[in-house]
Structure 1
């Protein structure tokens, strides 16, 4: 690192030289007003850089920034703030990404600097600011362009470039040249972005994602532009930010550095924006050095914006109102009656909550003027299926949208599962053996049941009891669902069963969780059809 013109100075000397200026006081006000402002909260009385020029081409150059912050509140015990350092171009124009340096009076993470001397009434700070390696030109002018602070009593101040002009905060750096802006790929809508947006009464948002790279300076900010009917446009910002714990974010995505980031961006279309197809038309990206890369002429990832002023739909219905998906998928049909369309209906999109949505291209218009869209309800566990969005586009490209998913007029289309109200029934029960020598144990007996169940038996348990009614064995588990017919279960007979008579009781559980018990001791449950299930263990 090359240091040129190093200027040692004392905090007290500089404070005297600037006449005790306190940021937060009105610069043009009388001395009395300045003194009153000083009593109100924190202020900066000194600010300077120690190097007037550095060579940053090695990537490890720093410039030491020194500053003093005062706070007249004797009850304040801590202070938090930030300095913003940025390139200053021709005519004082700020260039590229601002670099933020955070500080606090008490040393604490994630603040980068803490007081090196003094008290809360007047504290000195110093920090070796890392100068970026790259810039758009070989030589760049930098300066502290903003200071903010707040104490733990809530008093704050902010000083911009005008008030900081009294301080000597500028330096010149030599850089490696970054001549190109960021690049991007993987541009498109986010996974849950609606295809249709109804904006008659309120603004709507289209959300996109993209991957951005910049190997030199790193990405800073950008914008996505949508093009709509009649040359209308709307834009949304992309910006790399840092949260309070130091994590980088670009929209919804966290980042590890600015050179390779995934970003999301939202583009808001105001209420009443022209109806029709809006598509991504332009990407503008800026890196930390101020280089700009623009891609124009795009036409991708369209969304259909509508106020339902031309194409419309009515007579919405979903059938059946109750579906049976207890033993497999269940079909649903969503119907509607379109009007105002031209050149037929090109496509209909139905979004559902709890079941699978559907897109139907070129749906047939029935003799009664309705169109139908098929949907599927997953088996067993889907108790409710709601239609959350319906969007349709006619052959001329005009559209209509309904339902909360598309921010459109409300839909009241709900189908529900047929309730399981009947517990399973065993019509008959028999064992393949009723007598077994003790010497042949262990072994299994086979219990054959004839069952009837509206939703299907898919679970069982059975217990073997000795003559005194004490449980001595059994089993439980799941089975493939049986709605009617035979169900075979294994009854374990353990080694060591003493000669005597044993009773088998069993429970049938259906897919909906209802159960029926049979043959348990002391009259618990129902009697086994055809009589008790008895197994005699004999000597031998």
Structure 2
């Protein structure tokens, strides 16, 4: 166990006050210094750590850090800042990840420390800084390498390493040795990552996902490298950042600590970078202690980068221009004429918005030089289908890409649903009973309709009216689509209906939302073919 030495707190506060006095005296006389100070923003005037050595092997060691901040802006009422500790090598090089202590003048979450004495004009701060348990060596030197603060009036200060040297705010810690760097698994392209990227005019971005673990020090940062033709490379940084709620964000994902974290990384491939296949070739990861792990020699998750210079396509078409998917899926065909290819077309990909695209391996080249790709439109509710991307790769590995999904030349390929212009038609209607004894209620009568509907009837409602035209019962709902032929519906007759004559009115709704109404009292609808639907309740 190393000796732990504490500097008396009174000495620290005296030094802080004395340091501030000396700084002001060197700049000007006392009155003048006060006037100047009232015009400035926040300033760091004292900084110290309470221990010169500490044993952190237990995992719960702390060092006391004290600092003093003044603020010459009389309007300021609050302050926010951070203090960064980091390992310093024998050569002065910073090692591993900085560890940040956050503070504010008023106590508030998620800031870790607040003023322990004084006012906004001159405040003392103190905090027990948790020393990391792990380091790459058993002994490490730590120092305050950066202090920043801002007040609520826009005043700021930042003191870097050189400006902090006069404070000698550092300590030596004994650690548990962490000798291994982070590891990863699950590396893959993001699900929305295009297979093709057109970079003739602008840079393009490839996005990847990976899961990173480091049980000791925790993950700090990393870099993912893509390699392309002719030795070209591009890379993207992997770096968790602290959120205001205390969580870590690494790309699209949030985690609660850096020991087990999901990350996304974006790699920008510059405009005009060599065309061809680019794939993940290297992953380098660094933990908070500075240990580095590197996996290279990869050839993973390729993407086709192109300027459409070797292989091209033209004469794009999408047929039919109007599709009928009212009663099931509808097929679409995308045709084009490739040129400049060698060894045939190895694969062709079509992406669509609103319907399902496809990948066709070794598509057949027709006598006129065209190839055809198939697409499927889901039933009923897909009103519009737009081709957003077309990519082709020849047998020699050269490719071409078109459409916004691949950042390529714009395509104008849109198909739409055949419009629904005709409401359902009832050709005939009949009830299985026209007279029912009151003693048999409740029960249902069966209404049989012969219907014709271009898009199909898929919903209904019906109402039972008494002789005065008042509704006494009814029901509604969805039904399996019927385009032609019989449609059977139940007419509810509840218990307690009085003797007399009752009328049935009904509405049919098709898949396009058009409605047809029959048999409602008061002339508000079409007449029922064959006459009104009447049911008599008798006393039998």
Do both share a fold (TM > 0.5)? yes
Matched, 1:304 2:304: yes
> Once the 2 structures are TM-superposed, how far is the Cα of residue 14 of structure 1 from its aligned partner?
4.3
- After TM superposition, list the pairs within 5 Å mapping 1:115-194 onto structure 2: 115-194=115-194
Question: Contact between 2:346 and 2:362, CA under 8 Å: does it hold in 1?
Answer: yes
> After the TM superposition, which of the residue ranges 468-477 and 279-288 deviates more from structure 2?
468-477
The separation in 2 between residues aligned to 1:210 and 1:227, in whole angstroms, is 18
Gaps of 5+ in 1: 23-29
The separation in 2 between residues aligned to 1:316 and 1:94, in whole angstroms, is 57
> Quick one: structure 1 residues 338 and 520, their matched pair in 2 at CA, closer, same or farther if it must change by over 3 Å?
same
> Quick one: structure 1 residues 61 and 218, their matched pair in 2 at CA, closer, same or farther if it must change by over 3 Å?
same
Question: Contact between 2:38 and 2:74, CA under 8 Å: does it hold in 1?
Answer: no
| Aligned Cα root-mean-square deviation (Å) | 1.8
What corresponds to 2:50 in structure 1? Answer: 50
Question: Contact between 2:95 and 2:290, CA under 8 Å: does it hold in 1?
Answer: yes
What corresponds to 2:380 in structure 1? Answer: 380
- After TM superposition, list the pairs within 5 Å mapping 1:284-433 onto structure 2: 284-433=284-433
Question: Contact between 2:16 and 2:68, CA under 8 Å: does it hold in 1?
Answer: no
Question: Contact between 1:3 and 1:51, CA under 8 Å: does it hold in 2?
Answer: no
> Once the 2 structures are TM-superposed, how far is the Cα of residue 343 of structure 1 from its aligned partner?
0.9
Question: Contact between 1:21 and 1:44, CA under 8 Å: does it hold in 2?
Answer: no
Secondary structure (helix, strand or coil) at the match of 2:504 reads strand
Measured against aligned partners, the alpha-carbon deviations of 1:442-477 in whole angstroms (never above 9, x if no partner) come to 322221111000100111112222222222222222
- After TM superposition, list the pairs within 5 Å mapping 1:7-86 onto structure 2: 7-8=7-8, 9-16=11-18, 20-21=22-23, 31=27, 39-86=39-86
The separation in 2 between residues aligned to 1:442 and 1:154, in whole angstroms, is 78
The separation in 1 between residues aligned to 2:175 and 2:494, in whole angstroms, is 85
What corresponds to 2:111 in structure 1? Answer: 111
What corresponds to 2:494 in structure 1? Answer: 494
What corresponds to 1:508 in structure 2? Answer: 508
Measured against aligned partners, the alpha-carbon deviations of 1:294-318 in whole angstroms (never above 9, x if no partner) come to 0010001001111111111111111
The separation in 2 between residues aligned to 1:66 and 1:4, in whole angstroms, is 16
Measured against aligned partners, the alpha-carbon deviations of 1:231-256 in whole angstroms (never above 9, x if no partner) come to 11111000121112211111111111
What corresponds to 2:482 in structure 1? Answer: 482
The separation in 2 between residues aligned to 1:16 and 1:496, in whole angstroms, is 98
Measured against aligned partners, the alpha-carbon deviations of 1:385-432 in whole angstroms (never above 9, x if no partner) come to 111111111111111111111111111111111111110000011112
The separation in 1 between residues aligned to 2:23 and 2:421, in whole angstroms, is 82
**TM-score w.r.t. length of structure 2:** 0.96
Matched, 1:533 2:533: yes
The separation in 2 between residues aligned to 1:249 and 1:462, in whole angstroms, is 56
> Once the 2 structures are TM-superposed, how far is the Cα of residue 37 of structure 1 from its aligned partner?
8.3
Question: Contact between 1:224 and 1:237, CA under 8 Å: does it hold in 2?
Answer: yes
> Quick one: structure 1 residues 159 and 37, their matched pair in 2 at CA, closer, same or farther if it must change by over 3 Å?
farther
The separation in 2 between residues aligned to 1:534 and 1:486, in whole angstroms, is 20
> Once the 2 structures are TM-superposed, how far is the Cα of residue 493 of structure 1 from its aligned partner?
2.2
- After TM superposition, list the pairs within 5 Å mapping 1:271-290 onto structure 2: 271-290=271-290
What corresponds to 1:251 in structure 2? Answer: 251
What corresponds to 1:270 in structure 2? Answer: 270
> Once the 2 structures are TM-superposed, how far is the Cα of residue 11 of structure 1 from its aligned partner?
2.6
**TM-score w.r.t. length of structure 1:** 0.96
> Quick one: structure 1 residues 38 and 187, their matched pair in 2 at CA, closer, same or farther if it must change by over 3 Å?
farther
Question: Contact between 1:196 and 1:401, CA under 8 Å: does it hold in 2?
Answer: yes
- After TM superposition, list the pairs within 5 Å mapping 1:221-236 onto structure 2: 221-236=221-236
The separation in 2 between residues aligned to 1:17 and 1:76, in whole angstroms, is 23
The separation in 2 between residues aligned to 1:117 and 1:440, in whole angstroms, is 89
Gaps of 5+ in 2: none
> Quick one: structure 1 residues 284 and 451, their matched pair in 2 at CA, closer, same or farther if it must change by over 3 Å?
same
Query: How many residues get paired?
Result: 533
The separation in 2 between residues aligned to 1:343 and 1:265, in whole angstroms, is 35
> Quick one: structure 1 residues 159 and 396, their matched pair in 2 at CA, closer, same or farther if it must change by over 3 Å?
same
Question: Contact between 2:136 and 2:291, CA under 8 Å: does it hold in 1?
Answer: yes
Secondary structure (helix, strand or coil) at the match of 1:91 reads coil
What corresponds to 1:463 in structure 2? Answer: 463
